[in-house]
């Protein structure tokens, strides 16, 4: 089973840059999208239907903002819209599907880069998410959590760790949270298989950052530890350029 996570920075914008053709070429089983930035009535569902993918969506209430979506070849056993907390569900931050063998949680975690109020919101989210996902893993041991976490875990995951030491997304408190998350029993699939530096999933639009590969690795495919024997590969698809992020693929022998 091939699963891709991809922050699109606008699904309609990504389609204009060749997203549909790319999806057909990659031919993954499931695509988890974040930051779809699209109201329900404007979603291009038919375009995905036409290439053989069903889809579910959780747009944000605010138009042109946030939201998540999932494409699938095989209809899920069940679908869960949101995490049950209104302040996060209004922003479309969690969308879940169950296959016969796997629960997939697609998340777009908050960014704190716009100011103190949103950074506070982000810390509140992190406080909520840890017990939430811990309980979920107890109930669904075969759990994959993917998406835009908006946090670099280690210095290897960011192009300039010293100058960004006090930047949202690389704050000590955020990095400590990521460490606790992985210590709790989740596996960072890409880093488990690849210890090389200079692999990133997001680049600023300023000063040619992507061409210079001055990026951040903030998009993750994480799995519960009991799925580790089924992990085949996890790769960053940095040649895909439909967004300021790039996709991350994980392949499980399921």
DSSP one-letter code for 245: B
Contacts of residue 223, Cβ cutoff 8 Å, sequence gap at least 6: 143, 144, 145, 186, 187, 189, 231, 250, 252
- The CA distance from 216 to 254, in Å, is 30
Contacts of residue 171, Cβ cutoff 8 Å, sequence gap at least 6: none
Q: Is 152 exposed, middle or buried (0-12, 13-18, 19+ CB in 10 A)?
A: buried
Per DSSP, the three-state class of 6 is: strand
| Selected catalytic residue, list 27, 86, 127, 148 | 148
Q: Which letter, b or e, does each residue of 164-187 get, where b requires 16 or more Cβ atoms within 10 Å of its Cβ?
A: beebbbbbeebbebbeebbeeebb
Active-site residue flag, 196: no
- The CA distance from 181 to 62, in Å, is 29
Q: Summarize the chain as % helix, strand, coil (round to 5).
A: 30, 25, 45
CB distance 1 to 252 below 8 Å: yes
CB distance 249 to 219 below 8 Å: no
CA atoms within 13 A on the CB side of 57: 21
Question: Quick one: how far is CA 9 from the chain centroid?
Answer: 12
Residues tagged active-site: 148
């Amino acid at each position: 089973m091939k699963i891709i996570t991809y922050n699109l920075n606008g699904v309609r914008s990504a389609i204009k840059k060749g997203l549909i053709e790319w999806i057909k070429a990659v031919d993954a089983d499931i695509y988890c999208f974040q930051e779809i930035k699209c109201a329900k009535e404007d979603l291009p569902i038919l375009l995905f239907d036409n290439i053989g993918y069903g889809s579910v969506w959780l747009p944000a209430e605010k138009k042109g903002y946030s939201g998540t979506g999932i494409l699938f070849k095989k209809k899920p056993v069940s679908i869960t819209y949101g995490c049950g907390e209104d302040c996060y569900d209004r922003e479309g931050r969690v969308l879940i599907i169950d296959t016969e063998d796997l629960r997939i949680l697609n998340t777009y975690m908050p960014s704190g880069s716009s100011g103190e109020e949103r950074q506070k919101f982000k810390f509140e989210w992190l406080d909520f998410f840890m017990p939430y996902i811990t309980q979920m893993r107890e109930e669904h041991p075969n759990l994959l959590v993917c998406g835009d976490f908006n946090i670099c875990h280690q210095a290897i995951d960011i192009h300039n760790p010293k100058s960004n030491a006090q930047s949202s997304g690389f704050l000590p408190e955020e990095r400590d949270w990521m460490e606790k998350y992985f210590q709790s029993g989740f596996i960072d699939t890409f880093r488990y298989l690849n210890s090389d530096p200079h692999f990133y999933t997001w680049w600023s639009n300023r000063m040619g950052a992507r061409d210079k590969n001055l990026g951040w690795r903030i998009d993750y495919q994480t799995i519960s530890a009991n799925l580790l024997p089924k992990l085949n590969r996890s790769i960053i698809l940095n040649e895909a350029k439909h967004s300021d992020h790039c996709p991350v693929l994980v392949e499980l022998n399921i």
